[in-house]
A and B are shown apart, each in its own frame.
Chain A
Amino acid sequence: MIRWTLRLIAVGYVLALVGLPVVTVCRSTFSHGWAPFAQALGNPDLLSAAELGVGVAAISVLVNTVFGVGIAILLVRYRFPGRRLLDAAIDLPVSISPVVVGVALILVYGRTGWFGGWLERHGIQIIFATPALVLATVIVALPLVVREVVPVLAEAGTDQDQAAQSLGANGLQRFARITLPTIRWALAYGVVLSLARSLGEFGAVRVVSGSVAGQSQTLTLFVNANYQEFGPEAEQAAFTAAFLLMLASVAFIVVIAWLRPKEHS
């Protein structure tokens, strides 16, 4: 009896928090059938936003994968002054609000920021342009790869690496043949998490983007901008974009669920 009650509460909780909003978005997207949905898909601003959003997410994931693996190896295998500080700093993006990240970026790279003058003189625009979107997304998703890879690396230890050394493998060969296969599932998991986080990022991106339709709008910004506009067309566009984002999330959840058990075998 208690077990059933607990189950009911758990399922109800999840339904109310996740299920209902999902259903609402789906219903609103298709409330007038397929035609408006298909039409909204042809909206040039939506397409451009999707392209930019995916592009920014892809670059951020690439950057975070390369540096994430590098930082994880550094943290696990080397002892150096400042190591614990680095370790703590990696987690900072989790605890700070993304909005603060965005504001901080403006304070550093904005027109009146630390590097603003220099950047402007050399004709480089970061804030209100794609570089700022990438920077913001990279920072926000930074810990995800690192935190997945570190425990796996730590558990594997250095014996295999040393064995490979004594068998004649150089650093690159050891990384490709030993380290990478050892962390592959954790890394894949981290990459999918980062991709999901990057695609869905809103707060930091909102601050540094300027949100110009067709130029510096990612999908999340597009949803926000159109939802706040009046008119059925804008609303349909907002729901269509939201639906796309949701579709991507579901795909990620499936991939993550599929990756997860392998991580432990």
Chain B
Amino acid sequence: MGIRATDITKRFGDFLALQDVSLVVPSGGLTALLGPSGGGKSTLLRIIAGLEYPDSGAVEIEGVHATWLPPRKRNVGFVFQHYAAFKHLSVYRNVAFGLEIRRRPKAEIKARVHELLELVHLENFADRLPSQLSGGQRQRMALARALAVQPEVLLLDEPFGALDAQVRKELRDWLRRLHDEVNVTTIFVTHDQEEALEVSDEIVVINHGRIEQVGSPTELYDNPANDFVMRFLGPVTSLGGRLIRPHDIEMLPGPAPDAIPATLTQLVRVGHEVRAELVAGESRPWVNLTRGQAEELQLSPDAAVWLRPHPRASTLPAPDRA
């Protein structure tokens, strides 16, 4: 059953944060709410958690009407971007917090906390204060704390947003493995399309308070519903009046059926890839090539080439401005 949000609308003063948003998140999945900042994704997450209340609409969590329930009665675990660690409590007491509130027996709390600290690889840090941990460790502690009370739903608000790139990538892989182990229905908010594509089972693209598209990472990448989704999920260029991914363009040394003539203006090497910038009539497409392809074509500035979409490339009509 999972989570069902129906016709959620939320305003902050004059700002319309969410507009008639409806969403079903299946049980046990790992779902990403993806979109630019200010698009409403965090607001939707906080409404599901009960940290905000919608102006209209309904929230159902595992079959329970939860729209007006306070957060503490929703059985939801929440992880904040800036960890929200209880600064005056040790790592152990942080993780034990929810269990202490529920007045579980001491022995049970101890066993459960140690089990969780092991799960998040912090078993040697039980007596530290949060201020003695790194950002990544703090966030893992926050995750253990949220999982301690065995929530039906785990909600993460930009969980890796405050971490540096390296730690971010590690934690991302780790979250995926953790989810496969614990299997709790999980929703996380991110504005990083790579993070969403790599980690999640399902992506919900949210922009301007509306859902643009819902689907698996492959579906969204290959069949974006509109140019916003296409642009947000990866690089986009235009060819012959259509939007296309730059790696979906074939570059040919001579004329061919359906191919458009173009002139090379610049070649830029970016690591193992080569970015070729061209002029084709009115438009200025760019093409992503591998180093091998670029060498094979023996490209030089001002070279004449022919461009056409790959046979299985997905394209969208380009909006007028492009």
Contacts and interface: CB of A to CB of B under 8 A. Distances in A.
Nearest to B89: A181
Interface in A157-174: 159-160, 162-170, 173
B88 A162 contact: no
A162 B74 CA distance: 13
**Chain B interface category by residue count:** 20 to 34
A249 interface: no
B149 interface: yes
A104 B269 CA distance: 80
B160 interface: no
A162 B49 CA distance: 10
Interface in A177-197: 177-178, 181-182
Contact of B97 (A156, A167, A170, A181): A167
Contact of A168 (B51, B83, B84, B149): B149
Given A159-B80, A159-B82, A173-B101, A166 B71 contact: yes
Contacts of B89: 181
B145 interface: yes
13 contacts: A159-B84, A160-B84, A162-B51, A164-B86, A165-B50, A165-B70, A165-B71, A166-B51, A166-B71, A166-B76, A168-B72, A170-B72, A177-B86
B49 A166 contact: yes
Q: Is the interface of A mostly helix, strand, loop or mixed?
A: helix
Category for how many chain A residues contact B: 10 to 19
B54 interface: no
Contacts of A170: 72
Nearest to B73: A168
B82 A168 contact: no
A134 B146 CA distance: 47
4 closest cross-chain pairs (CB), A and B: A159-B84, A167-B98, A163-B84, A166-B78
The binding surface of chain B is classed by DSSP as loop
Contacts of B85: 160
Contacts of A182: 87-88
B47 to A, nearest CB: 13
Interface string B51-94: 10000000000000000001110101110101111111100000
Interface of B: 49-51, 70-72, 74, 76-78, 80, 82-89, 97-98, 101-102, 142, 145-146, 149
Nearest to B77: A166
A182 B88 CA distance: 7
Q: Which of A164, A167, A170, A181 has most chain B Cβ within 10 Å?
A: A167
Contacts of B146: 166-167
A185 to B, nearest CB: 10
A182 B80 CA distance: 19
B81 to A, nearest CB: 9
Contact of B101 (A156, A169, A181): A169
Nearest to B46: A162
A168 B71 CA distance: 7
B87 A167 contact: no
A159 B84 CA distance: 5
A201 B72 CA distance: 46
B86 A163 contact: yes
